[in-house]
């Protein structure tokens, strides 16, 4: 069975399998879930979420783990229903030994999207309660220094076991999450001067196939930008050692702003549809999967009212990486450094140049304003053609659809062109896709 959900007749969202996917306006009965903990608003409750099933060959979740995260978001949404104002912070801890591991972030971000919340991504140091910036240290700081309420923290299961025990009352036993068990989470509570930890089963059996969500492009719609194509010759006296025979597809992060005043570093529900559902469109535009995927580092910060990590370009392209079993290469420089972005992608002799980009195909997810600045610097500065910069099209604040393509030939000559996914933001549902526990496609 196939269900077509359409709005304004522009984008078709195809869902394969009856009940495989529902809109988040459909609330789930508590009977769907395992026993869930009471969360007292006058207590400190830290809901500790394990990193779900990883892909052992990458720094991302496996398809099973991604499905687990999507379903767990529904469980957690039910757990905090009517209490979201009491959710003080959502955090993800990655180990200093594996700083590019985004599985904790992927495990909790779907819940944050459901509630229009930021996520604070933190690289933590190894050590016990006395070690600054260790997992135990950071959890203890919440219990000691923050207001009562609910805190959601994702981290690897082994880190959970090491972090929780030092915080418990003397004589309290905490068995810990067994190795390889991804179906339990922990609630660490402090109430009436007592600190306890309770483990709960999530009763989720995640599917092993990629979520059955597909966006179908509407070819009768026009792209947001005027079609543009031009070639810039390699400079006669280049100041950089330029790459050759490479193709770079640049996409903007998915829908992120319900209004121009809103900023939390994350994306919104409309963006979740595009992030999960546009894989097939990207493959058609690129002619198949690229050789590598490059994106911003989710440890970067962005200005907002609270503590916001700039995670949305990373989490925009992470579903594509999950679907294709590919790692994400995370930038070693800030997201708002466009000159370095251009040099890293298209040259071979700068501190951030990567030989993997030379002669290969790369998919890049970034922030649109800095994509524009990077390409202007690439053409006007690196390629020494300032007179050609005016040919680069504008990229509107409301345009999440455009794709820029930069190709260099064997001689190093550069060609710019643009395309689009043909997915209109206005046609995407404003409610998130939901994946209830225990309901899967056949």
Choose the weakest-confidence range: 33-37, 107-111, 231-235, 326-330: 33-37
170-200 pLDDT tens trace = 888 888 999 899 999 999 999 999 999 999 9
Residue where the block lists tokens 């025979």: 245
pLDDT at residue number 307: 66
pLDDT at residue number 3: 31
**What pTM did the predictor assign?**
0.90
Residue where the block lists tokens 């509107």: 396
CA–CA distance, 257 with 259 (Å, rounded to integer): 5
26 DSSP 8-state letter? S
CA–CA distance, 182 with 55 (Å, rounded to integer): 13
The residue ranking higher by pLDDT, 26 or 337, is 337
pLDDT above 90: residue 304: no
Domains recognised in the chain with CATH numbers: 44-201 (3.40.50.1240), 228-427 (3.40.50.1240)
pLDDT above 90: residue 92: yes
62-80 pLDDT tens trace = 999 999 999 999 999 999 9
CA nearest to 321, candidates 369, 355, 289, 358: 289
Interval 364-393 mean pLDDT: 99
Choose the weakest-confidence range: 161-170, 370-379, 392-401: 161-170
Looking only at the bridges linking them, the beta strands covering 87-95 and 149-155 are: parallel
4-56 pLDDT tens trace = 333 333 343 444 333 344 444 333 333 333 466 889 989 999 999 999 999 99
Task: Report percent pLDDT > 70 for the chain.
Answer: 89
User: φ, ψ for residue 86 (rounded to 5)?
Assistant: -90, -5
CA–CA distance, 157 with 105 (Å, rounded to integer): 13
pLDDT above 70: residue 371: yes
- Cα 211 to Cα 94, 95, 320, distances in angstroms: 25, 28, 11
Query: b vs e for 263-296, b when ≥16 Cβ sit within 10 Å of the residue's Cβ?
Result: bbbbbbbbbbbbbbbbbebbeebbeebbebbbbb
CA–CA distance, 304 with 116 (Å, rounded to integer): 13
CA–CA distance, 36 with 79 (Å, rounded to integer): 7
pLDDT at residue number 305: 65
CA nearest to 150, candidates 122, 196, 112, 187: 187
CA nearest to 248, candidates 428, 375, 390: 375
Residue where the block lists tokens 């992927």: 106
Which residues make Cβ contacts (< 8 Å) with residue 178, sequence separation at least 6? none
Alpha helices, DSSP H, located in 173-292: 269-277, 279-286
CB 387 within 8 Å of CB 233: no
pLDDT above 60: residue 222: yes
Phi/psi class of residue 116: alpha, beta or left (left: φ > 0; alpha: ψ in -120 to 50)? left
CA nearest to 69, candidates 442, 434, 439: 434
Query: For the chain, what percentages of helix, strand and coil (3-state, to nearest 5) are there?
Result: 30, 25, 50
User: φ, ψ for residue 206 (rounded to 5)?
Assistant: -70, 145
Looking only at the bridges linking them, the beta strands covering 414-420 and 229-232 are: antiparallel
CB 371 within 8 Å of CB 404: yes
Looking only at the bridges linking them, the beta strands covering 11-16 and 2-7 are: antiparallel
What is the band of 221 on the pLDDT scale with cuts at 50, 70, 90? confident
User: φ, ψ for residue 352 (rounded to 5)?
Assistant: -105, 5
CA–CA distance, 214 with 13 (Å, rounded to integer): 6
Alpha helices, DSSP H, located in 91-175: 103-114, 135-145, 157-164
pLDDT at residue number 157: 94
For the four alpha carbons of 322, 428, 335 and 146, in that order, the dihedral sign comes to negative
Looking only at the bridges linking them, the beta strands covering 433-434 and 22-23 are: antiparallel
pLDDT above 50: residue 438: no
Indicate the length of the chain as a whole number: 442
pLDDT at residue number 171: 83
Residue where the block lists tokens 């459901």: 114
Looking only at the bridges linking them, the beta strands covering 361-366 and 246-252 are: parallel
- Cα 42 to Cα 100, 102, 149, distances in angstroms: 36, 32, 7
Residue where the block lists tokens 């394969």: 16
420-436 pLDDT tens trace = 999 999 999 999 998 87
pLDDT at residue number 437: 59
CA–CA distance, 315 with 338 (Å, rounded to integer): 20
CB 96 within 8 Å of CB 126: yes
Q: Mean pLDDT of all residues in the chain?
A: 90
pLDDT at residue number 19: 38
């Amino acid at each position: 069975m196939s269900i077509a959900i359409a709005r304004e007749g522009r984008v078709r969202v195809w869902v394969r399998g009856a009940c495989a996917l529902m809109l988040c306006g459909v609330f789930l009965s508590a009977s769907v879930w395992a026993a869930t903990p009471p969360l007292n608003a006058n207590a400190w409750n830290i809901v500790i979420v394990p990193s779900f099933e990883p892909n052992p060959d990458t720094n991302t979740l496996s398809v099973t783990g991604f499905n687990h995260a999507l379903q767990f978001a529904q469980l957690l949404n039910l757990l905090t229903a009517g209490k979201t104002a009491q959710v003080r912070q959502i955090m993800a801890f990655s180990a200093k030994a594996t700083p590019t591991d985004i599985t904790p972030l992927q495990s909790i971000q779907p819940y944050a999207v459901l509630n229009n919340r930021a996520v604070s991504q933190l690289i933590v140091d190894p050590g016990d309660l006395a070690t600054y910036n260790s997992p135990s240290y950071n959890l203890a700081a919440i219990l000691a220094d923050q207001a009562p309420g609910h805190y959601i923290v994702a981290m690897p299961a082994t880190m959970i076991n090491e972090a929780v025990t030092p915080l418990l009352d003397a004589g309290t036993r905490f068995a810990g999450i067994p190795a390889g068990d991804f179906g339990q989470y922990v609630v660490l509570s402090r109430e009436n001067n007592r600190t306890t930890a309770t483990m709960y089963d999530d009763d989720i059996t995640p599917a092993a196939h990629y979520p059955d969500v597909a966006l179908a492009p509407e070819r009768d719609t026009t792209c947001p930008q005027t079609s543009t194509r031009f070639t810039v010759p390699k400079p006669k006296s280049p100041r950089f050692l330029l790459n050759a025979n490479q193709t770079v597809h640049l996409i903007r992060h998915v829908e992120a702003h319900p209004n121009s005043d809103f900023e939390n570093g994350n994306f919104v529900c409309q963006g979740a549809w595009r992030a999960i559902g546009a894989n097939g469109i990207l493959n058609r535009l690129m002619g198949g999967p690229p050789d590598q995927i490059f994106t911003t580092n989710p440890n970067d910060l962005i200005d907002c009212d609270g503590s916001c990590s700039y995670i949305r370009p990373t989490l925009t392209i992470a579903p594509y990486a999950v679907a294709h079993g590919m790692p994400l290469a995370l930038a070693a420089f800030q997201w708002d450094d466009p000159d370095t972005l251009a040099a890293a992608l298209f040259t071979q002799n700068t501190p951030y140049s990567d030989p993997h980009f030379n002669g290969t195909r790369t998919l890049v997810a970034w922030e649109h304003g800095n994509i524009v600045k990077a390409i202007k610097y690439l053409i006007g500065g690196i390629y020494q053609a300032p007179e050609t910069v005016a040919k680069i099209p504008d990229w509107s604040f409301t345009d999440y659809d455009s794709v820029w393509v930069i190709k260099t030939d064997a001689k190093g000559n550069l060609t710019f062109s643009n395309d689009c996914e043909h997915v209109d933001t206005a046609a995407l549902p404003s409610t998130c896709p939901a994946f209830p526990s225990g309901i899967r496609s056949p």
